[in-house]
Amino acid sequence: MHDFRWPALVTLGTVVLLFMMAVNVGRARGKYRIDAPATTGNADFERVFRVQMNTQESALMFLPALWIYAAFMSEVWAAAFGVVWLASRVWYAIAYQQAAARRGPAFGLSVLAIAVLTGGAACGVVRTLL
78-111: pLDDT as tens digits: 999 999 999 999 999 999 999 999 999 999 999 9
> Which of 106, 114, 129 minimizes the C-alpha distance to 69?
114
Query: What pLDDT is attached to residue 2?
Result: 86
| Rounded-to-integer distance, Cα 95 and Cα 42, Å | 18
| Rounded-to-integer distance, Cα 58 and Cα 21, Å | 13
Indicate the number of domains in the chain. 1
| Rounded-to-integer distance, Cα 51 and Cα 118, Å | 23
Q: Say how many C-beta atoms besides its own lie within 10 A of residue 35's C-beta.
A: 8
| Rounded-to-integer distance, Cα 106 and Cα 9, Å | 22
| Rounded-to-integer distance, Cα 92 and Cα 82, Å | 15
Q: Which domain holds residue 123?
A: 5-129
> Which of 98, 126, 92 minimizes the C-alpha distance to 111?
92
Please tell me whether the overall predicted TM-score, pTM, comes out greater than 0.85 for this model: yes
CATH of the domain at 62: 1.20.120.550
